[in-house]
Structures are given as C-alpha cells and as structure tokens.
Structure 1
Amino acid sequence: MYHSKDITVLIATKDRVKQIERAILSSVNQSINPRVVVLDDASEINIKKELAYKFSKFRIKWLRSNTPSGVAGARNKLVENSSGSIMVFLDDDAYFSDEYSLEKILKKFSSSDSLAAMALKIVLRQETDGLQIPFNRLERILNKNIHNNETEASYYVGAGHVLVREVFEKTGGYDNDFFYGLEELDLSSSIIKEGKKIIYFPDVEVIHEPQRSVVDKKNQLKDETYYSIRNRIWVSYKHLPIIYLISHLFIWGSFYLLRSLLKFQLIKYFFALKDGFLKLKHLRRNPFNSESIKYLRKNHGRLWY
C-alpha cells in the first residue's frame, strides 16, 4: 500500500517559465500533498529565481544543471535528486486535467505488485487536437474506444508517465546517450524483460501543449531527425531478436531514407547511420525472451517494425 509520502512529481524544463509554472500548479493543486522536484536544464534564465517565491508554501526542490542534459539525462538527474517509490514524470509543457490525478495513481499502484510503469491518457492540444497513447492508428481504428479502456501496454509516452523507483534502478534507468528520442521505448523494453507490467491508465488525463524542441537548433546535423534515426538503431539492436532486428532496421531505414531524400537531408541521414552503427560494439545486446515476446504480441507491441 502506497501513501502520499511515496509519490513525487518530477519535471525538467528549459527556458519555459510560463509552461513550467502551469505544470507545477497542476502538480501541487492536488487532493494529496506531493513532493515536486524541478530541474532547470541549462536555461538562459534562472527558473528558480523566476518562480520559487510563488511556490514557497509547497514542498518543491529546485535543481539546476549548467550544461544541457537532454531528455534522458534530465530525467535521470531528477531521479537521483528525489525520493519516493512512485515517480510521476511530467513534461514542462504538460499539466494534469484534474486535482485527483495523483490520488488515482497511488491507488492503482497500491493494487498491484507487478505494475512497474503507467502510461497516462495524454490529450494533445495544438493546431489539430489528438491523443498521445501507446496504440497505433490501426488499433485505434479497429477499437474506437481503446483510448477509454484501461489495459496492459507495451510502452508509454513521455509527456506524462509513472515509474516505480525500484524497477527504474534495477533496469539502469534512462540511457543518457540517447539524449533525445526513443528513450521511453528503450526503458519500456527493459521493464518488460524484467517480467513487469506497463498499463495504460485513462483515468488520469494529462493535457500536452507541445512547445519548440529542447534540441539545439544551432546544430544543423544533430536535430530531431538525426536522433530518431540513430536511436532507432540502438533500441532495435539492444532488444530485438535477430529476425525482428533485420526487419525493423530495413523498414525504418527505408522510411527515413525516403524522408531524407524528400527533404534533401541525405548528409544528415548517413551521419546518423554512421553514429548509430559505430556505437553498437559498445552496447550490450539482450534480446527479448519468449515470455517478453508473448507479452508484446498480446499488448500491441511492435516487433517487425
């Protein structure tokens, strides 16, 4: 049984004062009183100086990194500088839709010892509204109500997710080298290989209003596309059995090649391939076993692509 002292909300931010203020407000205005840890990941302005006085009555710990950590690195720093068994990760441009969100999360984790991660119902608000949930388009078409049903899942979306500290530490947490992109899929795969469950929990809704990426726009080669290609190679190599690895790399490699051709970004494509494959000799390969594959097939996991 978990209690309010066991839950901590972890939020990393970079140069987004208004957004992080909204995220913090939604975290402290809850039916329970959580700890909140905020990491200022090398912002040009000092986030703590801008906001700390507004939240002096709440249990908020302010951290600052003087060099960019990336998404994966920032989350690891938040974990290292926090306590509590139930870790609720919230993007700085996201916020809870109601004041009972954390209470519902605690109750759900208290009901199952095998539960290690939780994907929340993320409502995307931008030019075209939508959902960020762990099911592909075909599954949503075949099951029109899938977004409203609690079910086991094969991964979670980073904007709002929950992890159990014990399992996080056992798997090694996020891989800092990923920096940006697919870090959730990588950790989800490690969790499944531990024999633990990930669930999609639509009772908790997070509103996500995406802002400009944290990736350094001054670097013309290492942008979102670069990290998507490079990190896809790493995730596939680390977790997929050989037959799925070959299929996965062929399909995604072809997809990114075509997109790079259309966008005149072939140099970036081959640069990402080079960096992706060069790192493989340093990665530990630990493919899914039969039980993990069974879990993935049952819960909409992607194996072939």
Structure 2
Amino acid sequence: MNRIGIVILNWNGKDLLEKFLPSVVSYSKRDWAEIIVADNASNDDSIAFLEKNYPEINLIKLDKNYGFAEGYNRALAQLSHSYFVLLNSDVEVSENWLDSIYQQFESNPDIAAAQPKIKAYHKKTDFEYAGAAGGFIDYLAYPFCRGRIFDNIEEDRSQFNKNIDIFWASGAALFIRSEIYNKIGGLDSDFFAHMEEIDLCWRIKNQGYRIICDTNSTVYHVGGATLPNNSSRKLFLNFRNNLLMLYKNLPANNFIFTLLIRMCLDGVAALKFLLSGEFANFFAVFRAHLSFYSLLNKFRQKRKVLVAKTTCKNHKEIYKKSIVIDYYLRKKKSFSSLDF
C-alpha cells in the first residue's frame, strides 16, 4: 500500500500541470508514494492532457468546482493513504523532497503536519510568500513566516535551516497524517479558499499535536496562479476568513477583546483603502465583514464543538506581541529581529 498520497487539486490548470507535473513525477518515484490529481470540473484540456500523457496518475474527477477546501475534502475522502500531501499545481519539487518529512512522520507520532522549505520559483534565492520556512501568527492572528513578514521577503542564506515547530504549514505543500485530517474535520469548506490551512493547523494545535517545518526538503512555488495578489476577491477572502478563523479557534479568556481589536484594525485598513482611492479593496473589506456576520450563527455551532475538544490553549508559536506594530512602527522587517 502506498503510504503517501500526493494530491494536486486542479481547476483549468492544464498549463500549470504541463509545466510542473514533470518534476513531481520525476522526484516522487517511491514504493510508498502515489500521485493523484483531483480535478474541480475543469473546462479546459486538463483531463485530456492527463489521460494522454500521464495515464499512470490516479485521476479523481469532481462534478463541479468546489474550491480549494471542499475540493480537497471530497478528493481525500476517496483515498486511504497514511499521509497526504496537499500540493499546489504551481509547485516545482526537488530531488528527495519527500524522504525527510516521510521519516519525520514515521519516527514521531506526535507530528500531525509538516511543510518543506518553500522558495520562490521565479527567484530561487528567496523564500516564497506562502509559507517560506514555516508559518506563525501573532496574538491578533496576523500570519507571517520565517523568511516573510507581510510583503517583506528574505533571501535564503541558510539562516532558517534548523527544523522547528511552527504554528501553521502552508497549503502550497502541506504534509498531514490522514487520521488527523479526518479527526480534525478536514479543511473548512465555508472558507472556500485562503487561510483554510491556518484554520486547520490551529485546530490541530488546539488538540495538542505538533506541526513542523523540515528544511531538509525544498520546493519552489509560483504563488498567485489562481488569484493574483492584488485581487479584490483574494482580499475579501483573506479578511473574511481571518475573522472566521479567529471566531472558531480563540480561547474563551480573550475571545471578545481580541476579536474586537481585529475588527477595529480591519476598519482602519478599509479607511486607508478608501483614502487611497482603492475603492475595490475598500468594498472587499466591507463585504468581508457582511459575509462574516451572515455566517455567525453557523460558526457559533462550530466554535461550541471545537472549544469542547480543545486540550491545549497556550501555544509558544503564537507571537505575544503585535506584528503590525513591530513591522510598521518598530521597523522589524525580518523574522530574526522579532522578540520570540
């Protein structure tokens, strides 16, 4: 039986598959690994391309575009591997990218999820925005990484080659135990896309499991292949999903205070967009809050269930200060400059 299922979710990404799938095939030839492409009802030539050029790849055909979260949930429900790798279609992998993390899982049953070092495909000396050398959040749930704080991306000078525990692993190349994925409930389909992996990892951490970055493994990510970084749709999803994530996972002792501060800071961001003439971004934040309010009843039930399952509330991987203040006022632009 194949121990690892490498699952690539595709939607109209024939060009990406053509470009990046060869590296995955070349560097994943293991007796214990299998490559699967789950297709979100593409209407380009993705299916024909795969069936003609990669008949050995397991192809899961979904009946419509379920987005990132539900697309993966439906695909992974059909698989029986011990470990899953959720791999973006715009990722180039390197030789031996699987081996070290596989050994970590086999040797450490308390490790639930992991990510490799993620570097930029178009500038391979630098870390990549979505994950870099491991993800963290501050106490207001602003995400950042070893190697990337907001838009400041560091060059990889081997400064983060130590394997460490992290708070969240990037969905660009997320390794996870299938048993934990199913136990935790998978990705939250109400998120559709963006920040769903941070929410998943927060739930994992709240149940006492470890998440690591193994820098012995390296992949190269394009990023923004589905939605560009300047997309107002992406901004809407990020703002809304961050609030949903907070609402679900914050411990009760600072729940209201933290949520109110975040909502106020969202208001400041919206005002900045308005004054800068970025009207699409202003309305994206406005719509994000309206959508958040519309989902409150549903998420109140989710929170109730999750709070009852929480066994670990204090995480050393959550930065106790404000990354916003550190970055913009104290000019701390690198991970190493933070007071962890």
Q: Same fold (TM over 0.5)?
A: yes
> Given the alignment of the two structures, is residue 61 of structure 1 paired with residue 79 of structure 2, yes or no?
no
Alpha-carbon separation, structure 1, partners of 2:120 and 2:263:
29
Query: Runs in 1 of length 4+ with deviation above 6 angstroms?
Result: 138-141, 288-291
- Change in Cα spacing, 1:203 to 1:300, as seen in structure 2 (3 Å) is farther
Greater Cα shift, 226-235 or 123-132: 123-132
Please report the TM-score for the alignment, with normalisation by the length of structure 1: 0.84
- Given candidates 286, 291, 313, the residue that maps to 1:275 is 291
Per-residue deviation, residues 207-239 of structure 1 (Å, max 9, x unmatched): 111353259xxxx97x11111121111111111
8 Å Cα contact 2:40/2:61 also seen in 1: yes
8 Å Cα contact 2:206/2:313 also seen in 1: no
Amino acid at match of 2:314: K
Give 1:249's aligned residue: 263
Greater Cα shift, 29-38 or 198-207: 29-38
8 Å Cα contact 2:127/2:153 also seen in 1: no
Alpha-carbon separation, structure 2, partners of 1:205 and 1:149:
13
- Change in Cα spacing, 1:13 to 1:140, as seen in structure 2 (3 Å) is closer
Give 2:103's aligned residue: 107
> Given the alignment of the two structures, is residue 75 of structure 1 paired with residue 72 of structure 2, yes or no?
yes
Give 1:204's aligned residue: 217
Alpha-carbon separation, structure 2, partners of 1:302 and 1:118:
23
> Given the alignment of the two structures, is residue 17 of structure 1 paired with residue 14 of structure 2, yes or no?
yes
Give 1:264's aligned residue: 279
8 Å Cα contact 1:175/1:183 also seen in 2: yes
CA apart distance, 1:294:
2.8
Alpha-carbon separation, structure 1, partners of 2:309 and 2:261:
18
Per-residue deviation, residues 74-100 of structure 1 (Å, max 9, x unmatched): 2112211222011011100112111x1
Amino acid at match of 2:241: N
- Same amino acid, percent of matched pairs: 23
> Secondary structure of 1:35's match?
strand
Amino acid at match of 1:86: Y
8 Å Cα contact 1:124/1:208 also seen in 2: yes
8 Å Cα contact 1:36/1:61 also seen in 2: yes
Alpha-carbon separation, structure 1, partners of 2:93 and 2:215:
12
Matches within 5 A, 1:150-299: 150-213=163-226, 223-241=233-251, 242=255, 243-259=257-273, 261-262=275-276, 263-265=278-280, 266-283=282-299, 284-285=302-303, 286=306, 292-295=312-315, 298-299=316-317
> Secondary structure of 2:2's match?
helix
CA apart distance, 1:145:
5.0
8 Å Cα contact 2:90/2:225 also seen in 1: no
8 Å Cα contact 2:115/2:174 also seen in 1: yes
Give 2:30's aligned residue: 32
Please report the TM-score for the alignment, with normalisation by the length of structure 2: 0.76
Amino acid at match of 1:73: E
Q: How many residues were matched structurally?
A: 292
> Secondary structure of 1:161's match?
strand
8 Å Cα contact 1:42/1:65 also seen in 2: yes
Gaps of 5+ in 1: none
Per-residue deviation, residues 37-82 of structure 1 (Å, max 9, x unmatched): 10121222242211223223x3x21122342111111211221122
